[in-house]
Amino acid sequence: MKFAQRSEKDDMREKTRSVNILRRVWIWLLAVCLLAVGAYVYFTKAGGALSRSAKQEAKIRSVPVLTTAAKKGDIRIYLNGLGSVTPLNTVTVRSRVDGELMKVLFREGQIVSKGDLMAIIDPRPFEVQLTQAEGQMARDQALLKNAVLDLERYHVLWEQDSIPKQQLDTQEALVRQYEGVVKADQGQIDNAKLQLIYCSITAPVGGRVGLRLVDPGNIVHATDTNGLAMITQIQPIAVVFSVPEDNLPQVLGKLKAGQLLPVEAFDRGQKQKLATGYLLTVDNQIDPTTGTVRLKAMFSNKDNALFPNQFVNARLLLDIKQGTTVVPQAALQRSPQGTFVYMVKADQTVTVRMVGVGPAEGDDVSIDEGLSPGDLVVVEGADRLREGSKVELQGQGANTSRKGK
């Protein structure tokens, strides 16, 4: 009985202890929840205050920008086109007689002038022909002289009525026949002399000699297709390039007015200017496949900077827009509403100013409307600006602002 009573008392104590432990756990959970809610409320309010403070500070903070003042200047209007260098004359030097090539007097790549001796063909066969023709002419001249003397005698005899008129007429015909033979002999002599001249091959035009195509000792013919060498004229030289057909009326108008339009030739990268010339003429038709027209410009090429068949970028100076407002192209910003710039006001805030853009030259662009010379525009840092943003001027714009103050 005692053992049973103890057991019941122990069970009661255990139940009481469990209830106390559970009660303490719930109290701790409630305390933790209250602390979490309090911390959330506190940090939320503090974060909102910090956010509002940061926004106010960002609103007051100035954005550093690089600015420049719009200026008054001239803008050159160019037409650009891809072209190639075209020589005025390209001539294949050929032999005009058949014979052995005795001497070659030019070097490959040499600059020659018109009339320079370039090669010699063996002249001996033609010297023999000249001697034969001169001998034949001497013989026929003697026969002509004798026929003329006989004709004079026949005139006397006919006047004395000693010979018939027919004999006199026959003698006159014989004299005319010998005169024709002598004239033909003179032609043979002239032909032989011409062949001797052709044995000395001279440069038909001035220019640069290409690679030699025939070596001395070979037999050359007047019918050879390759010739001895090729001469390309490089001073002066032309550049043929294309421009859009829409610009044709302006170009023709300038040419009709007698204006000399400058043309500049640049390399492929458009970084190095090779030569400066002038527009010579315009082609007589438009290419319907590309909608362009070809122009031909002339260059003196004194320094041989232009080479035949070289690809160049041609730039034609069409007009000069004088006294216009000019700003760097970096100042231009674009939006669906159009092109605009950020203009700096006196209180060092910016405003959006819509502008009308004109022709450009290099890094500069002309402004037709919206700006005046002296207006300060942002050229760097515009990506962080909005209407009314406060700015901190740097560089040239800062100096301009201080001078204005």
State the pLDDT at residue 55: 44
Average pLDDT score over residue span 156-168: 88
Would you identify the CATH topology of the domain 79-87+232-322?
Answer: Elongation Factor Tu (Ef-tu); domain 3 (2.40.30)
The reply to whether CATH 2.60.120.260 applies to domain 63-74+323-404 is no
Mean per-residue pLDDT for 10-27?
66
Is the link from the previous residue into 216 a cis peptide, with omega within 30 of 0? no
Start and end residues for every CATH 2.40.420.20 domain found in the chain: 63-74+323-404
Check residue 44 and give its pLDDT: 55
- With a cut of 50, say whether residue 3 has pLDDT above it: no
What global pTM score does this model have? 0.66
Q: Residue 173: pLDDT band by 50, 70, 90 thresholds?
A: very high
109: alpha, beta or left, given left = phi > 0 and alpha = psi -120 to 50?
left
pLDDT at residue 19, as a whole number:
61
Rounded to the nearest 10 degrees, the angle between the axes of helix 124-159 and helix 165-198 is 160
What are the tens digits of pLDDT across the range 257-313? 888 999 999 998 888 999 999 999 999 999 999 999 999 999 999 999 999 999 999
pLDDT band at 102 (very low <50, low <70, confident <90, very high): very high
Mean pLDDT of 27-48: 63
What does the pLDDT average to over 114-141?
Answer: 95
- Residue 86 confidence (pLDDT) above 70: yes
pLDDT of residue 402: 44
Positions of CATH 2.40.30.170 in the chain = 79-87+232-322
User: Among 53-62, 355-364, 378-387, where is mean pLDDT lowest?
Assistant: 53-62
pLDDT of residue 306: 94
In angstroms and rounded to an integer, the radius of gyration of the C-alpha atoms of the chain is 51
